[in-house]
Amino acid sequence: NMDEVRAKGVENIKKAIEKTREAGFRVSIAGAGVVFDELNRIAAVDFPVLTALSYGVIIAVLFYITRSPYIVAYAVAAFTASLAWLLGIMGMLKMNINMVSMAAPSIVLIIAVENFSHINSHLLEGAKSFRELDVKEILARMSKAFAPAFIAMATTVVGFISLAWTKMKIIQEFGI
């Protein structure tokens, strides 16, 4: 695993130059491996705060669009189930959680909100609220919205799957 080899190599270099630092010399190391490991470390520290803020903004926008706490609760429940499924698959495939894979839940949420907004616009076309619609009309509008939402989702899935053919392991795992 390249991530483990790189991390071990950087750690060995840091240990080797420690004696030079103890002697009073200022030593710095650079390179893609060092930058990557440092970004992963920073992301692991800052990611929970930034993620919570971004989810809060997305949920607030969703509430503003729908004006319904029930719809927001359904969307959050669907996202939570998707996130659990995503992390479960990553665990079963023994994938590393890194700065790229940490973005996946946010992308899943953005895609879910995008699809919801698309379906919601079809459902509420010409109506002020869901309460104005009867079940037959809701089903007719949902069937009208299904094809565009499915095509949008399918193209997104194909885009992510296509990342599996890249030579960079971190991007492959992100695509999967």
- ∠ Cα 38 43 45 (to 5°): 100
The Cα-based distances of 35 to 3, 30, 138 in angstroms read 12, 7, 52
At 111 the three-state DSSP class reads: helix
- pTM of the predicted protein model: 0.52
Q: Is the pLDDT of residue 175 over 80?
A: no
Task: Please indicate whether residue 157 or residue 168 has the higher confidence score (pLDDT).
Answer: 157
End-to-end, the C-alpha distance of the chain in Å comes to: 17
Query: Which SS3 state, helix, strand or coil, does residue 133 take?
Result: coil
Q: What is the model's pLDDT at position 149?
A: 80
- Between helices 2-22 and 32-66, what is the axis angle to 10°? 120
Predicted confidence (pLDDT) per residue in 149-167, tens digit: 888 888 888 887 787 777 7
- pLDDT for residue 100: 65
In the predicted model, what is the mean pLDDT of the chain? 77
The pLDDT value recorded for residue 99 is: 63
> What's the mean pLDDT in 116-137?
75
Q: 103 versus 81: which is more confidently predicted? A: 81
pLDDT confidence tier of residue 123, bands split at 50, 70 and 90 = confident
Q: Residue 171: what pLDDT?
A: 65
pLDDT value for 83:
77
Of 2-6, 53-57, 111-115, 150-154, the poorest mean pLDDT is in 2-6
The mean pLDDT of 89-110, rounded to a whole number, is: 72
